[in-house]
Structure 1
Amino acid sequence: MGLEEFGEVIRLNATVRTVREAAQAVGTDESRIVKTLVVYCGGGYRAYVIRGDKRLDLKKLGCRLATPEEVLSITGYPVGAVPPVLNIPVYIDRQLLEVEYVYGGGGNERSLLKFKPSSLVERGLATPVDV
């Protein structure tokens, strides 16, 4: 199952490791870039998809950020390139459902995935939450 099933994979000439770099690469506002953060909570891993200009309150969630090694081991993707479609529970910021499409990790540092947040929820791939 490839990422193309969930949106448009955009291959870039430059590496994109930050929200700012990703926004510049596709000519959009930073609020249209999302990050997929892998966390460890209560004995298991999960991911949160949030706007690039937002922060995840780990204390409120009772979680810790997964290490880069854990992220690669659990998801198969390096930090900064993690797509929003994973084999662990994925939670998506409810505010993103108001946006037609966003750009997120495309599996490597030279790719982005342009996708519809609502599509992930409709397909049962993400659960909306207030972040």
Structure 2
Amino acid sequence: MSAEAVRAYFEQYGMDGRIREFDVSSATVELAAQAVGCEPMRIAKTLSFSVGGEPVLIVAAGDAKIDNSKYKAQFSAKAKMLTPDEALALVGHAVGGVCPFAVRDGVRVFLDASLRRFERVVAACGSSNSVIELTLAELETHAHPEAWVDVCKGWEPAGA
């Protein structure tokens, strides 16, 4: 159901033809990068958290990891990932296909600074075997983020 909702969302913008579906899984950064044929860091992974009982999505570069101290400073809470059942119920997408498109009402979306290094990124489309390549501007338009945040580590160039 979730992949159909994402396809319908992009169809209204004439972008559904850009969704790629694979015969293999694209459920992890590594699998998506292999399926697409790109560097893992260009995969825009969507991480799902609970903040005060509400669902929060953080879209980050494939090589970035949540920095607990930055996260706590941003959200005034400890990073608590949603369980697979919670992600499906609260966000509307199953783990492996979680994306910031066609999500349930009340889901807060944030884009992480780790993505700013790229002109184009590849994001999931609601299933464990579908993706779409977007410019950063398109991601910003279609993810409807509340804000850009800096809550990740491990992606910064040496000396940064």
TM-score grouping bracket, smaller chain normalisation: 0.7 to 0.9
Q: Which has the higher helix share?
A: 2
Aligned 8 A contact 1:39 1:45 in 2? yes
78-87 or 114-123, which moves further after superposition?
114-123
In the superposition, the TM-score normalised over structure 2's length comes to 0.72
- Measured in 2, the distance between the counterparts of 1:92 and 1:57 equals 14
**Alpha-carbon shift at residue 34 of structure 1 (Å):** 1.6
Give deviations 1:6-54, integer Å, cap 9, x for gaps. 6731111211222111101111001111211110012311100011111
Counterpart amino acid of residue 116 in structure 1: T
Is the radius of gyration larger for structure 1 or structure 2?
A: 2
SS at match of 1:14: coil
Q: Aligned match of 2:23 in 2, 13, 35? A: 13
Counterpart amino acid of residue 60 in structure 2: I
- Measured in 2, the distance between the counterparts of 1:76 and 1:124 equals 14
Q: Which runs of 5+ in 1 are unaligned?
A: none
- Alignment length (residue pairs): 131
Coordinate RMSD, CA, aligned = 2.1
**How many percent identity over aligned positions?**
31
In the superposition, the TM-score normalised over structure 1's length comes to 0.86
Aligned position for 2:3: none
Aligned 8 A contact 1:19 1:52 in 2? yes
Aligned 8 A contact 2:100 2:143 in 1? no
Q: Aligned match of 1:125 in 129, 134, 144? A: 144
Aligned position for 2:96: 80
Runs of 4+ in 1 over 6 A off after TM superposition: none
